[in-house]
Amino acid sequence: MREQTTNSSVEAAYDDYLMPIWKSLNVPVERASGCTLEDFDGNEYLDVFSGISVTNVGHNNEAVVEAATEQLEEFVHGCSYVHPNRPVADLAETIAEVTPGDLQKTFFCNSGTEAVEGAIKLARKYTGSKEVISLEMGFHGRTLGSLALTGNRAYKQDMAPTINDVAHTAPPYAYRCPRCDGDTCGADCADALERVIGSHTSGDLAAVVVEPVMGEAGIVVPSEAWLKRVRDIAHDHGALLIADEVQTGYGRTGELFASEQFGIEPDILTQAKGIANGLPLGAFTAPADIADAFGSGDHLSTFGGNPVACAAALATIEELQNGIIDNARENGEWLSAELATLESDYDVVGEARGLGLMQGIELVDSETTGPQHVAPAPDKELAAAVGEHLREESNVVMGVGGYYKNVMRFQPPLTISQAQLGEAVEALRAALD
Ligand code: PLP
């Protein structure tokens, strides 16, 4: 007979039977509800990370669970591309309605990485060009194509060569960028893209790929002017703008999609994470003329657009539109003000920044100058210690990440209340003290 499950028995099984993965949050989860996680030893935690922006309408959301369960009882079949079915059709139509601009046709897959892979293929097919540019420090996934776009070299060690014809350009990381001016991104960062096109490509450009707000880089928010200029440069070179909204999409930044907030209409929009509130689903959407560059069979996925996941996504979108996005916007503004206070109260808080409920503070060693000599050195040891203190002493699960691993990340379920956010901020203060 199997022994009773405890935190340590789950951890031991992970060590013995799973290939090494990232388990830095270290909270095995038996059940979850709203913004609360419960581990196998009966401890409860306030979750302000939501599995990296996945459970946007709250863990175990009743409407989502009901929709998925109903669909499961109705029928399950693995492949939406063999037998057309209602949830896939309804979700595709809904996505056409809720995404910005002329984005109309969707391809469904199972994850963010796959959405990015498919988007690159579509851009290449449509433009007939090969080269792709993405941002240094950006993150787009870990399969070989998406890893090639991922600008963080730490993820690529020993993996080269990935795919050819990918170059990187400067991210709009104003706090640590010698070319940026104060807290806005200067024109020179966009000029850098022109220079990269001139020096690192043959001009045969298929796409420029950006995260409208960079998540894994450490919540890097660009200026609207930078993003619009990047779009214009891409178009001037006959390339598509791909907005990777895997992390920002589905209400995270206070609108359904961050592209809307910056006033851009991407040519291809990738989605995953929050789309089905935890069920595996990814998607990329494009205007009909671009989408139709794919001929029948050019791109397929056996499990892509699973009807149960699509039913969950339909319920998720409805929930988001019933006040949850407004909550993200309003509580995001409140949190932003609280984190700005931390920045003035603590020398070790280098910068507080974010949009909606995608916020972070950068922990620094204020005595030492960091990379590029423009801001204090990142302090990843402090961030790791703060994350542990939050978890062990206050039962708060907060993300620790960013390019330099020194950013405390608030990306809670968007249903979180101001009182719960206040609890997390107080716990953060206690950890910093
Ligand atoms: N793109 C972005 C912007 C991401 O943040 C991530 C994951 O963190 C991915 C793509 C990859 O998504 P997945 O882990 O679902 O493959």
How far is the centre of ligand 1, averaged over its atoms, from the C-alpha of 373 (Å)? 30
Q: Do 213 and 229 belong to one domain?
A: yes
Report pLDDT for 278. 96
- Residues 304 and 410 occupy one common structural domain: no
Check whether 388 has a pLDDT greater than 90.
Answer: yes
Boundary residue ending a domain (289, 320, 351): 320
DSSP string for residues in 231-251? HHHHHHTT-EEEEE-TTTTTT
In a domain, 74, yes or no: yes
Average pLDDT over residues 66-74: 92
Q: Please tell me the distance from the alpha carbon of residue 351 to that of residue 127, in angstroms, as a whole number.
A: 40
ipTM of the complex: 0.99
In ligand 1, the atom with minimum distance to the C-alpha of 52 is 8
Is there a single domain that holds both residue 52 and residue 82? Answer: no
Atom of ligand 1 nearest to the CA of 111: 15
- Dist CA 390 CA 432 (whole Å): 10
Ligand 1 site, CB within 6 A:
52, 111-113, 116, 139-141, 211, 215-216, 244, 246-247, 272
Q: Does residue 20 sit within a domain?
A: yes
Q: Is residue 53 located within the same domain as residue 74?
A: no
Q: Could you tell me if 71 and 57 lie in one domain?
A: no
Q: Which atom of ligand 1 is nearest to the CA of 138?
A: 3
- Residue 32 is part of a domain; what is its CATH number? 3.90.1150.10
In this prediction, residue 188 carries a pLDDT of 78
Is there a single domain that holds both residue 314 and residue 284?
A: yes
Looking from the CA of residue 146, the nearest atom of ligand 1 is 10
In 3D space, the residue among 421, 387, 321 whose CA is nearest the CA of residue 35 turns out to be: 421
- Mind giving me the DSSP string for 9-77? HHHHHHHHHS-----TT----SEEEBTEEE-TTS-EEEESSHHHHT-TT-BT-HHHHHHHHHHHHH---
pLDDT, position 127:
98
The three-class DSSP label of residue 135 is strand
pLDDT of the residue at 187: 74
Read off the pLDDT of each residue in 145-160 and give the average, rounded to a whole number: 89
311 vs 315: CA distance, rounded Å: 6
Q: What is the pLDDT of residues 269-326, one digit of tens each?
A: 999 999 999 999 999 999 999 999 999 889 999 999 999 999 999 999 999 999 999 9
- The answer to whether the CB of 117 falls within 8 A of the CB of 143 is yes
Mean pLDDT of 354-368: 96
In the structure, what pLDDT confidence band is assigned to residue 23 with cuts at 50, 70 and 90? low
Residue among 142, 152, 250, 273 whose CB has most ligand 1 atoms within 8 A, to mutate = 273
> Ligand 1 centroid vs 345 CA: distance in angstroms?
33
Residue 377, CA distances (Å) to 185, 320, 371 in order: 20, 38, 7
Q: Look up the domain containing 205 and give its range.
A: 63-320
pLDDT value for 93: 98
Instruction: Name the residue among 351, 349, 410 with its Cα closest to residue 382.
Output: 349
Asked whether the beta carbons of 138 and 319 are under 8 A apart, the reply is: no
Q: What is the DSSP letter of 131?
A: E
Percent of the chain whose predicted confidence (pLDDT) is above 70: 96
**Is residue 391 very low, low, confident or very high in pLDDT (cuts 50, 70, 90)?**
very high
The domain boundary residue, chosen from 320, 354, 372? 320
86 and 72 within one domain: yes
Ligand 1 pocket test: pick from 108, 120, 139, 284 the residue with the most ligand atoms within 8 Å of its Cβ: 139
Q: How far is the CA of 139 from the centre of ligand 1 (A)?
A: 7
> Residue 254's closest CA among 119, 343, 356?
356
How many C-beta neighbours within 10 Å does residue 62 have? 12
Write down the pLDDT at residue 178: 80
Mutate to test the pocket of ligand 1, among 117, 140, 143 (most ligand atoms within 8 A of CB): 140
Residue 281, domain member (yes or no) = yes
CB within 8 A of 8, min separation 6: which ones? none
Query: Which of 320, 337, 372 marks a domain boundary?
Result: 320
Q: What are the beta bridge partners of residue 351?
A: 362
Task: Give mean pLDDT, residues 61-78.
Answer: 89
Same domain? For 287 and 143 the reply is yes
Do 78 and 170 reside in the same domain of the chain?
yes
How many A from CA of 245 to the centre of ligand 1?
A: 9
- pLDDT-based confidence at residue 1 (cuts at 50, 70, 90): low
312 in a structural domain: yes
Q: Is residue 391 part of a domain?
A: yes
Report whether 174 contacts 226 (CB < 8 A). Answer: no
Give the residue whose CA is nearest to atom 7 of ligand 1: 141
Q: Which CATH number fits the domain that encloses residue 125?
A: 3.40.640.10
Q: How far is the CA of 369 from the centre of ligand 1 (A)?
A: 31
> What is the number of other CB atoms lying within 10 angstroms of the CB of residue 382?
17
Q: State whether 158 and 17 are in the same domain.
A: no
Residue 1 lies in a domain: no
Residue 2 domain-assigned (yes or no): no
How many structural domains does the chain have? Answer: 2
- Distance, in Å, from the CA atom of 122 to the CA atom of 416, rounded to the nearest integer, reads 37
Same domain, 86 and 223: yes
pLDDT beyond 70 at 100 = yes
Would you say residue 89 lies in a domain?
yes
Please classify residue 225 by burial: count the beta carbons closer than 10 Å to its beta carbon, then call 0-12 exposed, 13-18 middle and 19+ buried: middle
* Nearest atom in ligand 1 to 113's CA: 16
Please check whether residues 304 and 342 belong to one and the same domain: no
